Structure 1
Amino acid sequence: MIAAAEYARRRRQLMRMAGEDAAVIVAAAPERMRNADAPWPYRQHSDFHYLSGFGEPDSILALLPGRSQGEAVLFCRERDAERERWDGERLGTERAAEQLKLDDAFPIEDIDDILPGMIEGRARLYCHFGAEPEFDARLLGWMRRLRSARGGGVVPKEFVALGHLLHDLRLYKSKAELALMKQSASIAAKAHLAAMRVARPGVAEYEVEGELLRVMRGNGAVPAFPPTVAGGANACVMHYQANRARLRDGDLLLVDAGAEVDCYASDITRTYPVGGKFSPEQRALYDIVLSAQAAAIDEVRPGQVFSAAHDVAVEVITEGLCALGLIKGTPAKAIASGAYRKFFPGKTGHWLGLDVHDVGDYRVDGEPRLLEPGMVVTVEPGVYIDPDERSVPERWRGIGIRIEDDVAVGRDGPQVLTGDVPKGIEELEDLLGSRAS
């Protein structure tokens, strides 16, 4: 858990960046229906969570720098015994203000009467305009109310995208955030190990998925995203989601799954032989990907550009594929022409945090961003040879391999958060060979 004092510190930092003539408004995620009257499991908006730690819907956070009556104000649902009997306990305005270290809290039903006056006279309004139509309509209603006030209220002259300020803050993880991410990674690692024990010929992809979810839920986490469980040529589909096929002896299984703890995510991918042993072709390609990942992880250091990990992974993979004859010509020409993208179409990683593909710019003023301590990235090179790829011999076709770990930028170099899941060829074969029959 992250202490309420840390959320308060984040709010103060954001308000300093916004300036005393600005206001910041952040809405909670709405509840969404899956179908008919069945809702999706509720998950708070990441920015709202980052600034409040409050997990309820129907809430709006207003930050008002310099306001003498209180700078941090929450509008949320009041206690309601009848509704709580159906939907569960609510924190309520009084407890929310106290427990979340806010200056004040008001009933969400009163926001139309209270909030316009709070933002009157502010020069700028920071918000996520354009993300949720219902919130946009409400925001425009507050502006109309200000303009129609007796004497004409002073309406903010600028609407500014909140992400410009807030998402830069989220790039740098505190000790408490890193602790949650390590916990998330540990649970995801347990889930991957459990999946390896059940993955064998004849088992369905969805059975492996079920084991992943069982372990995550059993350890107090939820899945950070729908897992990919891709046997054989299914692994060549970059975002495979069907998870319906049966696993076959001789195929590889690619499993991409992460856990989420208190909204903080992990993201791990492992690829291994269903039958327990790599074929010569699988071993050769796997060794290339593993070498590329090791070289890329070594680039996750303070002062290095974000793109360095991808650049070195491209070099290692292209050299390996050229050595195997799967790409013709020299590695330098294959990189210059982009020929390697046929087998390595993606990037090597992304920011990780409250979102799996976390917020934050990858380039600053047109240049690749420099890595700094506290940032967390994934490192996930891969090789994917389409089953219909006629430019290579048949024995190589339909092989998809990705290896992914979560890596924090430490002051002294990379810190792998997901190292509990084996990825060496011998390690994997030993583990898979020890499975009970």
Structure 2
Amino acid sequence: MKHTLMPVGEFAARRAKVLAQMQDNSIAFFSANSEVTRSNDTEYLFCQDKGFYYLTGFNEPDAVLMLVKSDSCHSVLFCLAKDPLAEVWHGRRVGAENAQKDYQFDQAFELAQLEDIAIEHLANKCAVYYCRGHQKAFDTQLMHWLAQVKGQSRQGIKAPQSLIDVQPLLNELRLIKSSAEIDIMRQVNQISGKAHQRAMKKTHGGVFEYQIEAELLHEFARHGARHAAYNSIVAGGENATILHYTDNCDPLADGELLLIDAGGELAGYAADITRTFPINGRFTEQQKALYQLVLDAQEQCINAIKPGQTLAKLNELCIEILTQGLIDLGILNGQLTELIADGACKKYFIHGLGHWLGLDVHDVGDYQVENRKQLRAFEPGMVLTIEPGLYFAKDDLDVEEQWRGIGIRIEDNVLVTDQGHENLTTNAPKSIQEIEQLMNK
């Protein structure tokens, strides 16, 4: 299935934005990921460093991007050399010549030339930008190059005096999505919504969690998202009270709920969707009451999203709705204001309300946290998740037995727009009526 993917010119434009914010007479380095051994001589499927990918679109291991800002600005890629024997065994390589042409770099060289060219360009620069601490092996390599430059001081060559972490600059760029990025994120949400529909249709008592996980992966790939954006959570019954449960090994029991937190990845961009539904297709009255409470909180928080809003304010709204709902159900006892002040509902709403979303599932970007409150004002182009939940441990004797072992989370992906917001998660059923209708066709 064909999808609209990122135009190569967008990657070049991003590099230009980084160069524009760099100091005069400076240089920046960004390193690709290396392959990671899974067992003996086999590797995990390669996943590119997302910061490197954001600036290059280049999806081979061990490459390095160099941005130079001096009399002129230019971009240089270093990548693995073309090697017919290696390519027979391990697959085709782009090569420097094709990389320069196809990815719009000003120059491209084989990786073997990196050290000599890097040392040459570091000479007499004022500042070096790099992702400090992000990849320790590359940090060590860069320090070695700088030592080589310092060793040339008797020849009148000066080493850079400033070492600057480029990640805050890059993270701010990644936080605001372009129209091309938003288009891809709409697509991956549609694909992921179809996967959640498929999972609902295939679920019944007696199947194993991993079998439902397989249905999700099948639907992702069938529509062009070959990989999951993260390890899928398929948690039946009390497993749903484990926030990051990924064992996915238990059979599903009739009468319990199934929580699925799963999203596909398309062109590097993630969806992150959670749905909770009855394994037999019918909510019990207790399940329905808790589910509707979480859904009400989620929908009211989504409806409040607009430029200038904050996660801190949305979290306050969510806490108020959940606390009042838990009072109404007899799970909490006391005055609303006092229970909110005491954080009573946080025993059951354990995690945060949401996070940035993009190339990473928990995407980069400053939340401007103060006293544990996320005060960053929303701007058009930001994408975030909204995911309230309630979790009651199987052994929690503070609640009646009818609530124990139930975990519910509902999560959508939301774009901040000029006018307010756009919910990208439009085709994954979440109302009680929608879920029961789909599961009982």
| TM-score band w.r.t. shorter chain | over 0.9
Q: Distance in 1 between matches of 2:71 and 2:281?
A: 64
1:429 maps onto 2:436 in alignment: yes
Q: CA deviation at 1:306?
A: 2.8
Q: Distance in 2 between matches of 1:156 and 1:114?
A: 16
Percent of pairs with identical residues: 41
Stretches of 4+ aligned residues off by more than 3 angstroms: 364-367
Unaligned runs of 5+ in 1: none
**CA contact 2:122–2:146 (8 Å) conserved in 1:** no
Q: Deviations along 1:378-430, whole A, 9 cap, x unmatched?
A: 01000001111111110111110000000000111110111101100111111
User: Relative to 1, partners in 2 of residues 1:15 and 1:171: Cα closer, same or farther, differing over 3 Å?
Assistant: same
1:405 maps onto 2:412 in alignment: yes
Q: Distance in 2 between matches of 1:284 and 1:156?
A: 63
Give the equivalent residue in structure 2 for 1:101: 104
Aligned residues: 433
Q: CA deviation at 1:325?
A: 1.2
Q: Match for 1:30: what amino acid?
A: S
1:137 maps onto 2:144 in alignment: no
Q: Deviations along 1:125-184, whole A, 9 cap, x unmatched?
A: 111122222212211110111111252532221222111111001011011101111111
User: Relative to 1, partners in 2 of residues 1:364 and 1:290: Cα closer, same or farther, differing over 3 Å?
Assistant: closer
Q: TM-score, normalised by structure 1?
A: 0.97
User: Relative to 1, partners in 2 of residues 1:243 and 1:304: Cα closer, same or farther, differing over 3 Å?
Assistant: same
Q: TM-score, normalised by structure 2?
A: 0.96
Q: Secondary structure at the match of 1:71?
A: strand
Q: Match for 1:141: what amino acid?
A: H
Give the equivalent residue in structure 1 for 2:66: 62
Shifted more, 252-261 versus 11-20: the winner is: 11-20
Q: Distance in 1 between matches of 2:413 and 2:98?
A: 36
Q: CA deviation at 1:66?
A: 3.0
Q: Secondary structure at the match of 2:180?
A: helix
Query: Which of 292, 311, 315 lines up with 1:310 in the alignment?
Result: 315
**CA contact 2:413–2:423 (8 Å) conserved in 1:** yes
Q: Distance in 2 between matches of 1:354 and 1:94?
A: 27
Q: CA deviation at 1:331?
A: 2.0
Q: Distance in 1 between matches of 2:116 and 2:156?
A: 16
Q: Distance in 2 between matches of 1:171 and 1:339?
A: 33
Q: Secondary structure at the match of 1:260?
A: strand
Q: CA deviation at 1:300?
A: 1.7
Give the equivalent residue in structure 2 for 1:177: 181
Q: Secondary structure at the match of 1:336?
A: helix
Give the equivalent residue in structure 1 for 2:383: 376
Q: Secondary structure at the match of 2:259?
A: strand
Shifted more, 340-349 versus 212-221: the winner is: 212-221
Unaligned runs of 5+ in 2: none
**CA contact 2:127–2:160 (8 Å) conserved in 1:** yes
Q: Match for 1:211: what amino acid?
A: E
Q: CA deviation at 1:292?
A: 0.2
Shifted more, 300-309 versus 347-356: the winner is: 300-309
Q: Secondary structure at the match of 1:159?
A: strand
Q: Deviations along 1:238-273, whole A, 9 cap, x unmatched?
A: 111110111111100000000000100000000000
1:192 maps onto 2:196 in alignment: yes
Query: Which of 126, 129, 140 lines up with 1:126 in the alignment?
Result: 129
Query: Which of 90, 94, 117 lines up with 1:91 in the alignment?
Result: 94
Q: Distance in 2 between matches of 1:49 and 1:171?
A: 15
Q: Match for 2:83: what amino acid?
A: D
Query: Which of 218, 224, 232 lines up with 1:220 in the alignment?
Result: 224
Q: Match for 1:106: what amino acid?
A: F
**CA contact 1:197–1:432 (8 Å) conserved in 2:** yes
Q: Distance in 2 between matches of 1:140 and 1:411?
A: 44
Give the equivalent residue in structure 2 for 1:148: 151
User: Relative to 1, partners in 2 of residues 1:334 and 1:245: Cα closer, same or farther, differing over 3 Å?
Assistant: same
Q: Distance in 1 between matches of 2:267 and 2:369?
A: 30
Q: CA deviation at 1:67?
A: 4.5
Q: CA deviation at 1:364?
A: 7.0
